[in-house]
Amino acid sequence: MKIALFDYGTGNLHSLGKALAAAGATVTITSRWKDALALDALVLPGVGAFGSAVKSLGSETARVREALEAGLPCLGICLGMQLLFHRSHEGEGKGIGFLSGSVRRLRTHITPQMGWNDVHIAPTGLEPLFQGVDNLVAYYANSYVCQPSDQGFVIATSTYQGDTFPAAVRRLHTWGVQFHPEKSSAQGLHIISNFLRQVCP
The pLDDT tens digits for 89-119 are 998 889 999 999 999 999 999 999 999 999 9
CATH number at residue 101: 3.40.50.880
Lowest-pLDDT range of 46-55, 115-124, 156-165: 46-55
Q: What is the pLDDT of residue 87?
A: 93
| pLDDT above 70: residue 125 | no
pTM of structure: 0.95
Range(s) of the domain holding residue 34:
2-199
What CA–CA distance (Å, rounded) separates 146 from 80? Answer: 11
Average pLDDT over residues 26-46: 96
What CA–CA distance (Å, rounded) separates 87 from 148? Answer: 11
Structural domains of the chain, count: 1
Task: Indicate the helix (H) or strand (E) that contains 62.
Answer: helix 61-69
Contacts of the segment 154-159: beta carbons below 8 A, 24+ positions apart:
154/122, 155/121, 155/122, 155/124, 155/127, 155/129, 155/130, 156/119, 156/120, 156/121, 156/122, 156/127, 156/130, 157/119, 157/120, 157/122, 158/117, 158/118, 158/119, 158/120, 159/117, 159/118
Positions marked active-site: 78, 180, 182
